[in-house]
Structure 1
Amino acid sequence: MNQEKFSKLTNIFGLDLRSLAVFRIGLALVVMADLFSRFRGVSAHYTDQGVLPREALHSNLFASFIALQPESNSLLHPWYWSLNLLNGGLWFQTFLFIIAFILCLCLLVGYRTRLAVIAVWALNISLQNRNPALIFAGDDVLRAMLFWSMFLPLGCSYSIDSAFNSNPKPLPKKVMNVATLAFMIQLIFIYSWSAAYKTKSELWWPDGDAVYYSLHFDQYATEFGHFLLGFPIPILQILTFGALIFEWIGPF
C-alpha cells in the first residue's frame, strides 16, 4: 500500500491522538465513578459478611435461586477469576478499591498509561467477577472499552507520558492500526445491535412508548427522569424515536 492510499485511509478510519486523550480522561472518570458507586456497598456486596460470601458464590443453591446459571454448580464461571476472592475481609476489599482508584488517577493524568489501563482492566474484571449478580449491560461495555484501550496510544497527548517523551520524532496527528479499527467496530456493534434488538419490540417501534415505561422504573429513574414524566406522551415518543435513530446512525 503506497503512502497516499494509507494517508487517505488514516483520514477516514484513523483516530486523532487528542481525541484518544479525551477518551482516556473520560474513561478514567467513568471507572472512578463506578468505584465510588460500588464502594458504598462494599461490605454488603463484596465481603464474606455480606449477601454473597465467597462460599455462596460457588454454591449451587445460590445459583439456582437467582436463576443465572441453574445448570451449573457455581454462579461464577470456572474460567473466571477474581483477586477479590482471595480474602473476604472488609480491609482487603477496601485495599483493592484504593489500588484501583490510584491506578485510575494514573490513567486520568496519563502516567505509565499502558500499564495503568491494563491494571485497571484487570481490577475491573476482578471486581465484576466477585459479585456477578450486580453486573448489567453497562459493565460489559466498560469492560470492552478497557480491553481495546490497552492497544490504543492513549498516552500520546495531554498526558504526563507525552510531557516527558524524549523522542525527537514528532507524533502523527492521527493513528490507524488494527486496534483503532477494532475499537470503532466495537462501538458500531454496540449501538447498531442494540438498535436492531429494540426494533423487535413494539414499545420502541412503532408505538414509541419505551421512554415512558423506562422512566417508571424507580430503581433507575433519576430526578431528571421524574421531571421528564411530566411532559406529554407525544414528547416522550419523540425522545424514544430520537434515541432509536441515534443508535442507528450515531456511530457512523
Structure 2
Amino acid sequence: MSTVPLQRLARFVRATRAPYQAALFRIGLAAVVAAFLLREWPHRRVLFGDRSPLSYDMALTLIEQEGTFTVLSWWGGQLWFEIVYTLTIVAALAVMVGWRTRTTTVLFMVGVMSLENRNTLVGDGGDNIIRIMVIYLVFTRCAQVWSLDARRARAARARGTESTADRTGIALWSVTGALLFWAFGLPVQGGWPLVLWLLWAVHGVWYVVNRRLPGHEVRSVLDDCAAMLHNAAMLVIAVQVCLIYSTAGWYKIQGLRWQEGSALHYALHLDYFTPWPWLSATVAANAVLVLALTYLTVAAQVAFPFTLGSRRVKNVLLAVMIAEHLGIAVLLGIPFLSLIMVVCDAVFLPTALLLALRTRLGRLAPRPPQRVTTVRCAEKAPQVPSGSLARSMTE
C-alpha cells in the first residue's frame, strides 16, 4: 500500500495554514474590542462596574447560575473594576500590534470575558460572538505575519540570536505566574483556573525547549502540535461563522415578515434602529428595494455555507456579505455587531488578495533614507562600474 497520500496529508496538517487570515482576524478582533471599550468609557461603570443596575450580589448569583467566569467577581469595588477595564484595553492594543501575543491573547481573553460576563443582560449577538472568538484566538498562531513578534523574530534570525535569552518574555511569564498563584493558588482547581495554569505551563515548556533544544526533535514535535492546533482553531472559527449564518438564515425563513419581504421595512421604522431618520425613510419609501434587500439577506445567509466549495462563488458572496454588514452598520446603527461579523468574514478572504493589499500598503509607507558610508583610504580606490555599485547598495 502506498504511503504517499498519508505523507501528503501529514505535510498538509503540520504546516501552518492561513497565516495572513489569522493575522487579519487578530487585528480586526482586537481593534473592534478596543474601539468598543473606548467608546463606552463614559458609561463603563453603569454597564459593567459598580454602578450597574445588576448589583454585585445579583451578579454573583447570575454568574453562579450560568457557570461563567469573570475576575470581577473577586471584588465589587471601583478600583478593581477600573484596573480590569484599563488592562483589557491595553491587552487589546497589544494584541492588535502583535506584541507578545502568546501572553497578551490570554490576557485579552480573560479581560473580555470578565467584562462581558459581569452583566450578560446588556449584551447582544455581537457580544456573544466576541466572547466565543477571543477564546479561539488564543489557540491560533496569529502573529506569524503583520506583528511586532514576527518583526522581532526576523531580526533575531538575521543576527543569529534566535535561541538567546528573552528577558522580556521571562519577566512577563513570571509576572503572570505570580498573578495566577495569587488568584487561584495551589493545588490547581478545575474549570477556567486549570485552563489558565495549563496555558502558562505550556508557554514555559515552549520557551525551555526553544532555548535549550533548538534543533532537537522535541522542538519539531512541539512546532507541529502548535501548527495542528492553529489549523484546528481556524477550522472551528470558519465552522462557527457558517453556523451563525445558517441558523440566522433558516430562522428568518420561518418568519412571516421575512417570507413576505417586509421585515426590513418594519426594522427601518423602529426608533432605536434609525440613527439617520432621513436615510431610513428614503430606503423604506422604495418598496422594491426593501423587498430585494430582505430576500437577498435571507438568500445570502442560507447559501453562504454551501458556496465554500467554489472559490469564485464564495468570493462574490463574501463581498456581498461584507457590503451587507457595512450597510447594516450605517443604516440600522449597530456598528460593532456588523464590524465583528466583517472580521469573522475575513477568515475566508483569499490569500492572493491579502498579499496584494500588503504590497499596495507597503508602497504607500514611507521608506527610510539609505545610508551611504564613505570609506577613505590613502590609495586610490578602484573604479567600480555603476551597475555593480547600484546592485551592491541594494543587496
TM-score (norm 1): 0.79
Please state whether the residue corresponding to 1:229 is helix, strand or coil: helix
RMSD value over aligned CA atoms? Answer: 2.8
Given candidates 111, 122, 126, the residue that maps to 2:114 is 126
- The answer to whether the 8 A contact 2:274-2:280 is kept is no
Give 1:94 shift. Answer: 2.0
| Alpha carbons of structure 1 residues 56 and 180: separation in structure 2 relative to 1, 3 Å | closer
Please state whether the residue corresponding to 1:155 is helix, strand or coil: coil
Give 1:29 shift. Answer: 0.8
In 2, the alpha carbon distance for the partners of 1:6 and 1:216 equals: 55
In 1, the alpha carbon distance for the partners of 2:120 and 2:258 equals: 29
- The answer to whether the 8 A contact 1:76-1:132 is kept is no
Task: Give 5+ residue unaligned stretches, structure 1.
Answer: 59-73
Partner of 1:68: none
In 2, the alpha carbon distance for the partners of 1:35 and 1:22 equals: 20
Given candidates 234, 244, 254, the residue that maps to 1:200 is 254
CA-to-partner distance for each residue in 1:100-157, whole Å, 9 max, x for gaps? 0110111001111122122111111111111121121111111111111111111010
Given candidates 1, 6, 13, the residue that maps to 1:2 is 6
Partner of 1:145: 133
Give 1:7 shift. Answer: 6.7
- The answer to whether the 8 A contact 1:42-1:93 is kept is no
Given candidates 21, 24, 27, the residue that maps to 2:23 is 21
Partner of 1:31: 33
Give 1:10 shift. Answer: 9.7
- Alignment of 1:216 with 2:269, yes or no, is yes
Q: Which has the higher helix share?
A: 2
Give 1:43 shift. Answer: 2.5
Amino acid at match of 1:249: A
Task: Give 5+ residue unaligned stretches, structure 2.
Answer: 163-214, 216-222, 309-395
| Alpha carbons of structure 1 residues 36 and 181: separation in structure 2 relative to 1, 3 Å | same
- Alignment of 1:75 with 2:62, yes or no, is yes
- The answer to whether the 8 A contact 2:264-2:294 is kept is yes
| Alpha carbons of structure 1 residues 116 and 41: separation in structure 2 relative to 1, 3 Å | same
| Alpha carbons of structure 1 residues 86 and 77: separation in structure 2 relative to 1, 3 Å | closer
Partner of 1:163: 151
CA-to-partner distance for each residue in 1:148-206, whole Å, 9 max, x for gaps? 1111111010001111114689x9xx98732222221111111111111111102112x
Amino acid at match of 2:269: H
Partner of 1:65: none
- The answer to whether the 8 A contact 2:17-2:231 is kept is no
Partner of 1:91: 79
In 1, the alpha carbon distance for the partners of 2:35 and 2:97 equals: 16
Please state whether the residue corresponding to 1:52 is helix, strand or coil: coil
CA-to-partner distance for each residue in 1:26-80, whole Å, 9 max, x for gaps? 111111122124333123233334422202335xxxxxxxxxxxxxxx3334422
Amino acid at match of 1:2: L
Partner of 2:282: 230
In 2, the alpha carbon distance for the partners of 1:221 and 1:103 equals: 33
Question: Identity of aligned pairs, percent?
Answer: 23
In 1, the alpha carbon distance for the partners of 2:43 and 2:239 equals: 35
Give 1:84 shift. Answer: 1.9
- The total of aligned residue pairs comes to 230
Give 1 or 2 for the bigger CA radius of gyration: 2
In 1, the alpha carbon distance for the partners of 2:9 and 2:301 equals: 31
| Alpha carbons of structure 1 residues 23 and 90: separation in structure 2 relative to 1, 3 Å | same
- The answer to whether the 8 A contact 1:46-1:88 is kept is no
- The answer to whether the 8 A contact 1:212-1:236 is kept is yes
Given candidates 33, 51, 54, the residue that maps to 2:53 is 51
In 2, the alpha carbon distance for the partners of 1:211 and 1:32 equals: 30
Please state whether the residue corresponding to 1:230 is helix, strand or coil: helix
Partner of 2:201: none
- Alignment of 1:104 with 2:92, yes or no, is yes
| Alpha carbons of structure 1 residues 200 and 77: separation in structure 2 relative to 1, 3 Å | farther
TM-score (norm 2): 0.53
Partner of 1:113: 101
In 2, the alpha carbon distance for the partners of 1:99 and 1:212 equals: 42
Partner of 1:64: none
In 1, the alpha carbon distance for the partners of 2:266 and 2:11 equals: 48
